[in-house]
Amino acid sequence: MIDQTLLPTEFREIDCWTVEGVWEAIKVLRVRGAPAIGVAAAYGVVVGLKDHRDDERSDFNAKLAEVVAYLASSRPTAVNLFWALDRMSSVALEHRSLSSAEVHESLFAEAKKIDAEDREMCTAIGQHGHHLLESGMGVLTHCNAGALATAGDGTALSVIFAAVAAGKSLRVYADETRPLLQGARLTAWELQQREIPVTVICDNMAAQVMKEGHIQAVVTGADRIAANGDAANKIGTYGVALLAKAHDIPFYVAAPSSTFDLSVAHGDHIPIEQRAREEISDGFGTQTVPAGVDVYNPAFDVTPASLISAIITEQGLISKPTTENVREHLKDCAVHGSSDHAR
Ligand code: MRU
In this structure, are strands 231-234 and 300-303 parallel, antiparallel, or unpaired? antiparallel
For residues 223 and 266, give the distance between their C-alpha atoms in angstroms, rounded to a whole number.
Answer: 14
Please state, in angstroms and as integers, the Cα–Cα distance from residue 156 to each residue in 34, 142, 163, 191, 232, following that order.
12, 9, 11, 12, 14
For residues 196 and 172, give the distance between their C-alpha atoms in angstroms, rounded to a whole number.
Answer: 8
Residues 178 and 72 in one domain: no
Domain boundary among 78, 102, 123: 123
Reduced to 3 states (helix: H, G, I; strand: E, B; else coil), residue 301 is: strand
Domain boundary among 123, 149, 173: 123
**Do residues 299 and 261 make contact, with C-beta atoms less than 8 angstroms apart?**
no
- Residue 341 placed within a domain: no
Residues 130 and 113 in one domain: no
Residues 132 and 117 in one domain: no
Q: Is residue 336 very low, low, confident or very high in pLDDT (cuts 50, 70, 90)?
A: low
- Is the CB of residue 4 below 6 angstroms from any atom belonging to ligand 1? no
Task: Please confirm, yes or no, whether 223 is among the known catalytic residues.
Answer: yes
- Residue 13 placed within a domain: no
- Residue 282 placed within a domain: yes
Statement: the pTM of the whole predicted model exceeds 0.75: yes
- Give, in degrees to the nearest 5, the angle at Cα 41 between 188 and 64: 175
Q: Is residue 342 very low, low, confident or very high in pLDDT (cuts 50, 70, 90)?
A: very low
Q: According to the model, what pLDDT value does residue 335 have? A: 61
Structurally, the chain folds into a number of domains equal to: 2
Mutate which of 26, 30, 122, 143 for ligand 1 pocket (most atoms within 8 A of beta carbon): 143
65 alpha carbon, distance to own chain's centre: 24
Out of 223, 230, 261, 301, pick the active-site residue.
223
- Cα of 143 from ligand 1 centre, angstroms: 6
Q: Which ligand 1 atom is nearest residue 143's CA?
A: 10
Q: pLDDT (tens digit, 9 = 90+) per residue, 47-81?
A: 999 999 999 999 999 999 999 999 999 999 999 99
User: What is the domain extent for residue 83?
Assistant: 19-123
- Peptide bond just before 8 cis, omega within 30 deg: yes
Count of beta carbons in the 10 Å neighbourhood of residue 233: 29
Q: pLDDT (tens digit, 9 = 90+) per residue, 189-220?
A: 999 999 999 999 999 999 999 999 999 999 99
Count of beta carbons in the 10 Å neighbourhood of residue 341: 22
Please state, in angstroms and as integers, the Cα–Cα distance from residue 168 to each residue in 131, 243, 253, following that order.
10, 25, 20
Residues 69 and 107 in one domain: yes
- Cα of 55 from ligand 1 centre, angstroms: 37
- The helix/strand count (H/E) of the chain reads as 12, 11
**Do residues 41 and 71 make contact, with C-beta atoms less than 8 angstroms apart?**
yes
